[in-house]
Amino acid sequence: MYPQIVEFYNLYRAFQGAARGKTSHPDVATFEYELERNLVGLQDELAAQTYRPGAYYNFHIRDPKPRLISAAPFRDRVVHHALCQIIEPLFERRFIFDSYACRVGKGTHAAIDRAQEFARAYPYVLKCDIEHFFPRIDHAILRAELARLIADADTMNLIDQILAGGEKVHSSEPPLFFENDDPSTGSGQGLFAALRPRGLPIGNLTSQFWANVYLNPLDQFIKRDLKCHGYVRYVDDLLLFAEDKATLHEWRAQVIAFAATLRQKLHENQAAVFPSSTGIPFLGWRVYPDHRRLKRRNGVQFARRLARLCGQLERGEIPLERLDAAVNGWLAHAQHGETWGLRRALVSRVVIPRGAKTFEVSKTSKV
């Protein structure tokens, strides 16, 4: 397996994947300027197993809650793509159908469509999500899941390098103890498990893929053991559908218990059972059986971004194409719900400075 990862054409495809949509970024342009030399150098390091990841660039966003995003150097992102291109197919065929994050042919809109399909079929839903999921991913548990299908020691060594490179990103996250842990005496495996290396950088492609690997046992438990036919997961957001509330309350307790075996904890006070007809808050939307509404904060955030971009355009800081792409991208997303009035109201506020070319959004999108 490892020779496939370090093969030059695989690295070249990895560069294309890592650079897609980012060719104007300085680090990407610098790498591409001497592309062959940089890829050969990276290939030599990987082949000799002297490759070591670089330092991460960290920044915070509000989406809508605060998140720490960690960006690896571009050459490391090329390695992440090269690794995933080879190992991902091994795991993909073992994932359940209704896991929608970071998978080809899936995504947020497919997840919302599936949730609405189940909302029509089942009267009740259990909505839950995992508390501090990425910062609390246990490296030992993740590595064991990866090693179940990857028998190549060199590939596992590369995985260990990537895990170790991102270990300090969430170093301030306090240890999480569970029922069987005994921090007062220091005895048993629990205490030592709580102090094991944890956390994955949210910005990595490997982190998004490994999140699916890490939660695949939970997916299998819900589908096979609980026999939950109406189930949707997007990263750490879970929806379980059933015919009655009692079943969902029972499943809630069992999901909490199983998540603890992965050293993860649900937001228990937010893990609620309610009728599907009241609308399910999911991935920025409120999903009803027969329609869906965009959450208010999404429209507010876009209105602020639109005002900022218009100001940048007026000052000559960005081209008109940048504003056009941003508006059309949001319109394409908003069209997945009953948002015609919202789209018209927001786009009608766009004022193009004198001298700019005609704004084409009305022709390229269904406002």
Instruction: State the pLDDT confidence band at 366, using cuts at 50, 70 and 90.
Output: very low
Say what the pLDDT of residue 49 is.
93
Averaged over 309-323, what is the pLDDT? 80
CB atoms within 10 A of CB 132: 17
Averaged over 23-34, what is the pLDDT? 91
Of 14-23, 114-123, 146-155, the poorest mean pLDDT is in: 14-23
Is the CB of residue 317 less than 8 Å from the CB of residue 272? no
pLDDT in tens, 325-358: 887 787 777 777 777 777 777 777 666 665 554 4
Is the pLDDT at 118 greater than 90, yes or no? yes
Across the chain, mean pLDDT equals: 86
Of 53-67, 75-89, 170-184, 234-248, the poorest mean pLDDT is in: 170-184
Say what the pLDDT of residue 325 is.
81
Choice between 24 and 139, residue whose per-residue pLDDT is larger: 139
- How far apart (Å, rounded) are the C-alpha atoms in residues 285 and 303? 17
Of 80-84, 139-143, 186-190, the poorest mean pLDDT is in: 186-190
- How far apart (Å, rounded) are the C-alpha atoms in residues 277 and 257? 28
Instruction: State the pLDDT confidence band at 57, using cuts at 50, 70 and 90.
Output: confident
- How far apart (Å, rounded) are the C-alpha atoms in residues 6 and 41? 11
State percent of the chain over pLDDT 90: 59
Say what the pLDDT of residue 353 is.
61
- How far apart (Å, rounded) are the C-alpha atoms in residues 176 and 191? 9
Distance (Å) of CA 170 to CA 22, 68, 167, 203, 288: 26, 9, 7, 13, 37
- How far apart (Å, rounded) are the C-alpha atoms in residues 52 and 42? 10
Instruction: State the pLDDT confidence band at 14, using cuts at 50, 70 and 90.
Output: very high
Say what the pLDDT of residue 16 is.
96
Residue carrying structure tokens 């792409």: 325
Of 47-56, 213-222, 288-297, 341-350, the poorest mean pLDDT is in: 341-350
Choice between 218 and 298, residue whose per-residue pLDDT is larger: 218
